[in-house]
Chain A
Amino acid sequence: MTQNVLEARGLTKRYGRVTALDGCDFDLRPGEILAVIGDNGAGKSTLIKALSGAIQPDEGEIRLDGRPAHFASPLAARQSGIETVYQTLALSPALSISDNMFMGREIRREDLLGRWFGILDRARMDRIAREKLSELGLLTIQNIGQRVETLSGGQRQGVAVARAAAFGSKVVILDEPTAALGVKESRKVLDLILDVRARGLPIVLISHNMPHVFEIADRIHVHRLGRRLCLIDPKQHSMSDAVAYMTGAKVPEEVLAA
């Protein structure tokens, strides 16, 4: 069996008397799209925050490529190659597409101006941003200097996903990427996710949208009451099964091996 890219064992996180994560396990294989589904309050976001470094679990272990990993901050997780596209997208509307793609990791000029005064290499950043966007088929975005606030919801999502795909070397986590989008734009974002997988990056997809999950996920992690209830194959189970597991109306019989 191949090594899991990202895995977690017995993650626990308590907020006062509330246990948001209760001995949760997690496994992500190379090159797969793993959907994480669960009812509101099941602890999905807490799990994702732990994996992306936004919170630190009280107990349990996270392993990246088989080695124990401790993410003190989202920055630490990013430096290890885990990129997260948050539901809020974490874009700055007043800045350009190119500025947003390089936010927090701008490229300086290599000459003295860059080394001594921190002057940015705008031409190079624009070129890389344009390359990354066209690799993912986001050619509809014409002007890389356009402000993000002038883009549609789907285009903004596209910029955020392209940013994650451009810099994520190990894992891309997508939190509800289609929640705010219309039918046509959702379609484009789903295609974009498949493109990212085709480039070999494994993806964690958090979504409430069962048709989307069943369409593109390779495996589904069903989250319930702060832990993983089961891992299911979308080809073997129906959407109503998944919803039933999620809500506790039904208990899964056979469960996929992690």
Chain B
Amino acid sequence: MTEATVARFEHRRTTAESIQHFLHRFPTMVPVIVLIVSVAGFALAAPNFMSAFNLSLILQQVAVVGTLAAAQSLVILTAGIDLSVSAVMVLCSVIMGKLAVEMGVPVPIAIAAGIAAGLGTGWVNGTLVTRLRLPPFITTLGTLNIFIALVYYLSGRNTIRSQDIDASAPLLKLFGQNFRLGGFVITYGVLLMLAVFAVLYVALNMTAWGKRVYAIGDDAEAAALAGIRVNRVLLSVYVTAGLICGLAAWSSIGRVGSVSPTSFVEANLESITAVVIGGISLFGGRGSIAAPLIGAIIVGVFNSGLRLMGVDVLWQLFATGWLIIIAVAVDQWIRKIAS
């Protein structure tokens, strides 16, 4: 077919447009660049920031929220949101602690029961979303409160002390243990987080399930018409998220040392923050699973860097707030090309 040229609308791309196109093709580069720039900045500004000890500490500090962010991003990829992740995690850790320390149940069984509870909460969330067709935001806002109530009921508002765990159930603290790699101190909790992301990366990019998760997040109606059993996949996503929260619960006991019903209150929003800063779209269907890992590390880097510079804690929140807003603004700017 020959085409007579009617009009030509070409123009030289400006630098900004070239960057825009590059980032549109490789959206994960945004958080990667932010991470590199912020690490470089704090390396110059904050004493000891680049020490192996400090870098290890940052990873240890983001391990629990990072694992939760993996669960959160699965749900967000389907254009949903899970406000109950932190409550589920605390619920699972309370179940593990109560069974193992207070009731003398064999520790592996207590841990299995806690993880099973995570699966169960995911099943409840997923069933409410798919069967009753409630919006995920409302569903998980409801179950957030219900699960917190269960946490208080089961724990009697009491903290299980670190010494008691050491005495009767040290396996609960497995993910707090560490090994040395050169000057770096790596906890098993960090390895767990990396393993969760690695498994999700394979599942999302190389299996039919992953393609379906993205398709549903992109356009659930189109996915259903194309023959995907949308409800079945959605349910599996919430159950998987619950499972990851259960693993995060085990990891959190190692990180904190004790089991407290009032711990990790802010982990919900921190997990969403990591996902957003990483660049996964809240509208679903877009973004790499590597994104929330990078997002969580960026928040950790800012917190650590500002603290080492001796800046008041309030400025950490201030910086995180701006990071969220800038991340979403950049995301919108990049996406202008697609429309």
Query: A residues engaging B (CB < 8 A)?
Result: 54, 74-75, 78, 84, 86, 88-95, 99-100, 103-106, 108, 117-120, 122, 149
Which chain B residues lie closer than 8 Å to A106 at the CB level?
208, 211
The 9 closest A-B pairs by CB, nearest first: A104-B227, A90-B225, A106-B208, A90-B222, A92-B215, A103-B226, A118-B207, A92-B218, A104-B228
Question: Looking at the complex, which one of B206, B211, B225 makes contact with A86 (CB distance below 8 Å)?
Answer: B225
The answer to whether B228 and A95 touch across the interface, beta carbons within 8 angstroms, is no
Are A93 and B208 closer than 8 Å at their CB atoms?
no
Beyond A103-B211, A118-B209, A119-B206, whether A95 also contacts B218 by CB under 8 A is yes
Shortest CB-to-CB span from B235 to chain A, Å, is 17
Bound Cα distance A149, B212 (Å)? 17
List 16 interface pairs A-B (beta carbons < 8 Å), by A numbering.
A90-B225, A90-B226, A91-B219, A92-B219, A92-B285, A93-B219, A94-B285, A99-B215, A100-B226, A103-B226, A104-B223, A106-B208, A117-B202, A119-B202, A119-B207, A120-B211
A75 and B207 within 8 A (CB): no
Question: Is B221 positioned at the interface, with any CB of A under 8 Å from its CB?
Answer: yes
CB distance from B86 to the nearest CB of A (A): 29
Q: With a 10 A CB-CB cut-off, give which of A92, A108, A118, A149 has the most chain B CB atoms.
A: A92
A90 to B216, CA, bound (A): 11
Is A95 a contact of B221 with CB atoms below 8 Å? no
Residues facing A in B102-120 (CB within 8 A) are none
Q: Which residues of B contact A86 (CB under 8 A)?
A: 225
> Interface residues, chain B, CB within 8 Å of chain A?
202, 206-209, 211-212, 214-215, 218-219, 221-229, 285-286, 338
Contact (Cβ within 8 A) B215 A75: no
In the bound complex, CA of A119 to CA of B210 (Å): 10
Quick one: closest A residue to B338, CB to CB?
A149
Q: Is the CB of B207 within 8 A of A92?
A: no
For B222, the chain A residues whose CB sits under 8 A away are: 88-92
Give the secondary structure class of A's interface: loop
A117 adjacent to B286 (CB under 8 Å): no
From B206, B215, B221, A103 is in contact (CB under 8 Å) with B215
By a CB distance below 8 angstroms, the chain B residues around A122 are 206
A24 → B minimal CB distance (Å):
22
CB contacts (< 8 Å) of A89 on chain B: these are 222
Nearest CB on B from A27, distance (A): 25
Known A78-B227, A103-B223: A94·B207 in contact at CB below 8 Å? no
Of all chain B residues, the one with the shortest Cβ separation from A99 is B211
A74 to B224, CA, bound (A): 9
A-side contacts of B218, CB under 8 Å? 92-95
Residues in A neighbouring B202, C-beta threshold 8 A: 117, 119
Q: Which residues of B contact A119 (CB under 8 A)?
A: 202, 206-207
**B228 to A, closest residue via Cβ:** A104
A37 to B6, CA, bound (A): 35
A95 & B208 in contact (Cβ 8 Å cutoff): no
On whether the beta carbons of B208 and A120 are closer than 8 Å, the reply is yes
Q: How far is the CB of B56 from chain A (nearest CB, A)?
A: 32
On whether A103 and B228 interact (CB within 8 A), knowing A90-B222, A91-B222, A94-B285, the answer reads yes
- Give Cα A94 to B225, complex, Å: 16
Chain A, Cβ-Cβ closest to B209? A118
**What distance in Å separates the Cβ of B229 from its nearest Cβ neighbour in chain A?**
7
- CB pair A95–B225 under 8 Å, yes or no, is no
Give the nearest-CB partner of A105 in chain B. B227
- In whole angstroms, how far apart are the Cα atoms of A54 and B202 in the complex? 33
**B219: A residues at CB distance < 8 A:** 91-93
Nearest-Cβ distance from residue A2 to partner chain B, whole angstroms: 30
Give Cα A104 to B338, complex, Å: 25
Using known A-B contacts A88-B221, A117-B207, A119-B206, determine if residue A95 contacts B226 with beta carbons closer than 8 Å. Answer: no
Residues in B neighbouring A91, C-beta threshold 8 A:
219, 222, 226
- Residue numbers in A under 8 Å from B209 (CB-CB): 118
Contacts of A75 in B (CB 8 A): 227, 229
A78 to B223, CA, bound (A): 14
B228 proximity list for chain A (CB < 8 A): 103-104
List of B residues within 8 angstroms of A74 by Cβ: 224-225, 227
A89 to B207, CA, bound (A): 23
Bound-state CA distance A100–B212 (Å) is 10
* A75-B227, A90-B225 known; A108+B338 contact, CB < 8 A: no
Whether the Cβ atoms of A95 and B207 lie closer than 8 Å is no
